[in-house]
């Protein structure tokens, strides 16, 4: 895992936005307000704050940018394996 220092949160946004990949991003900070703001603006499917690569089967994961499209795991990921069917039934009368 590469470690890069940053001057301010705008430096983080700019560096993260330059990459073509978007599977995951992690960063470390002691400021919870800044952490929330940075995490919500990163173009990554998963963002970890003060941690890296904690995965949970109940949380969807997938691609972003050139890392792929779609989700896996959790309800959102399972929906991609389902086919939806609409069933219409008129009132049946006995002849």
Q: pTM of the prediction?
A: 0.53
Number of domains within the chain? 1
Does residue 31 carry a pLDDT above 80?
yes
Q: Which two tokens stand for residue 46?
A: 């998963």
Strand ranges for 2-41 from DSSP E: 24-27
Q: How far apart are CA 46 and CA 71, in angstroms?
A: 11
Better-scored residue on pLDDT, 93 or 28: 28
Does the residue 49 lie in any domain?
yes
Does the residue 68 lie in any domain?
yes
Range of the domain at 44: 9-81
Does the residue 41 lie in any domain?
yes
Estimate to the nearest angstrom the gap between the alpha carbon of 80 and the chain centroid. 15
Does the residue 4 lie in any domain?
no
Does the residue 2 lie in any domain?
no
pLDDT range class, residue 54, cuts 50, 70, 90: confident
pLDDT in tens, 60-72: 666 666 666 666 7
Does the residue 14 lie in any domain?
yes
**Confidence (pLDDT) at 69:** 67
**Confidence (pLDDT) at 1:** 63
Does the residue 1 lie in any domain?
no
């Amino acid at each position: 895992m590469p470690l890069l220092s940053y001057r301010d949160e705008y430096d983080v946004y700019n560096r993260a936005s330059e990459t073509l990949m978007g599977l995951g991003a992690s960063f470390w900070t002691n400021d919870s307000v800044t952490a929330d703001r940075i995490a919500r603006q990163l173009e990554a499917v998963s963002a970890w704050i003060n941690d890296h690569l904690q995965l949970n089967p109940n949380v969807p994961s997938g691609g972003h940018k050139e890392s792929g499209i779609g989700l896996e795991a959790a309800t959102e990921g399972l929906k991609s394996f389902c086919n939806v069917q609409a069933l219409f039934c008129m009132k049946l009368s006995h002849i």
